């Protein structure tokens, strides 16, 4: 089921807010030469650019709610169309609903491709809340943590020297809303992919290295 050599694989990372999808997805993409596609990052980039889509999406993101499926699917479709055909992809934060998963299938089948593996990163809620409270993000997608993975210089990205950002949706009330949306709306996706024999569960509670080793093995195994 997993990739033999990584060419053309489509991997989906599933899991609660703060579990490490971004941290691991960026690394997996660099390691295997795949594109890392985070819908959260695409939406934040649209907001930063001041597009209508970004402004509209921010209303949902600030409330910890999901952005409507049609908006997300269009965004992903455009992004994939601009990518070299056949490149491996690791999706982070997409799909997040069963309708998004079905839409992804349709988009991929148009290109003769399909999802090859879905990795569910798992951690207890108290671990997630502590991780999110310490998160600081670089505009280039690299994620740090003041408790577990600090930058060399306080508040500054090691790779680009840019100031690190404390995400607007990491306020405690918004985090609670995001965790609850994940349980109720994204939870059913686990059964959807399990029924297709695509799901691998990965313990997300170890340190970043240990989780990466387990994830890589699940993707390539
Ligand atoms: P998005 O940006 O996707 O956020 P999320 O899913 O809530 O996930 P996070 O980014 O919070 O967590 P993560 O799992 O990536 O963890 P990270 O690696 O950063 O989405 C934001 C919003 O956009 C959504 O709420 C929604 O409104 C909208 N949206 C996005 N996609 C959508 C879609 N498909 N449909 C509809 N709406 C959508 O790690 C967290 C912290 O922990 C970091 O500081 C990291 O350094 C640290 N850390 C990671 N792993 C470890 C470890 N093993 N040990 C210790 N610390 C660790």
Which atom of ligand 1 lies closest to the CA of 121? 14
146-149 CB contacts, 8 Å cutoff, 24+ apart = 148/207, 148/208, 149/23, 149/208
Catalytic, 130? Answer no
Query: pLDDT (tens digit, 9 = 90+) per residue, 154-183?
Result: 999 999 999 999 998 998 889 999 999 999
Which atom of ligand 1 lies closest to the CA of 205? 53
Q: pLDDT under 70 in the chain at which residues? A: 1-7
The preferred substitution site among 100, 135, 207 for testing ligand 1, maximizing ligand atoms within 8 Å of CB, is: 135
Q: What is the pLDDT, as a whole number, of residue 8?
A: 83
Q: What is the pLDDT, as a whole number, of residue 5?
A: 42
**Atom 7 (ligand 1) nearest CA:** 17
Query: pLDDT (tens digit, 9 = 90+) per residue, 45-71?
Result: 999 999 999 999 999 999 999 999 999
Q: What is the pLDDT, as a whole number, of residue 114?
A: 95
Catalytic, 201? Answer no
In terms of pTM, does the model score above 0.75?
yes
Q: What is the pLDDT, as a whole number, of residue 2?
A: 40
Three-state DSSP class for residue 2: coil
Quickly list DSSP for 147-191.
TTB--SBTTB-TTT-PBPB--GGGSHHHHHHHHHHIIIIIHHHHH
What residues contact 19, with CB distance under 8 A and at least 6 apart?
121, 122, 123, 128, 131, 204
């Amino acid at each position: 089921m997993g990739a033999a050599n990584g060419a053309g694989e489509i991997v989906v990372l599933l899991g609660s807010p703060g579990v490490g999808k971004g941290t691991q997805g960026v690394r997996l993409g660099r390691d295997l030469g795949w594109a890392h596609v985070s819908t959260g990052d695409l939406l934040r980039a649209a907001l930063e650019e001041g597009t209508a889509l970004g402004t509209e999406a921010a209303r949902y993101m600030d409330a910890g709610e999901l952005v409507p499926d049609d908006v997300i699917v269009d965004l992903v479709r455009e992004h994939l169309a601009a990518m070299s055909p056949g490149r491996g992809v690791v999706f982070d934060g997409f799909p997040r609903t069963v309708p998004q998963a079905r839409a992804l299938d349709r988009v991929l089948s148009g290109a003769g491709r399909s999802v090859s593996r879905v990795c569910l990163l798992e951690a207890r809620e108290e671990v997630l809340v502590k991780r999110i409270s310490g998160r600081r993000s670089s505009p280039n997608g690299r994620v740090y943590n003041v408790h577990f993975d600090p930058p060399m210089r306080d508040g500054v990205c090691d790779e680009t020297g840019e100031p690190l950002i404390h995400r607007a949706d990491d306020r405690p009330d918004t985090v609670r809303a995001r965790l609850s949306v994940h349980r109720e709306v994204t939870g059913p996706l686990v059964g959807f992919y399990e029924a297709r024999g695509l799901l691998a569960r990965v313990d997300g509670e170890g340190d970043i290295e240990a989780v990466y080793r387990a994830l890589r093995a699940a993707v390539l195994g």
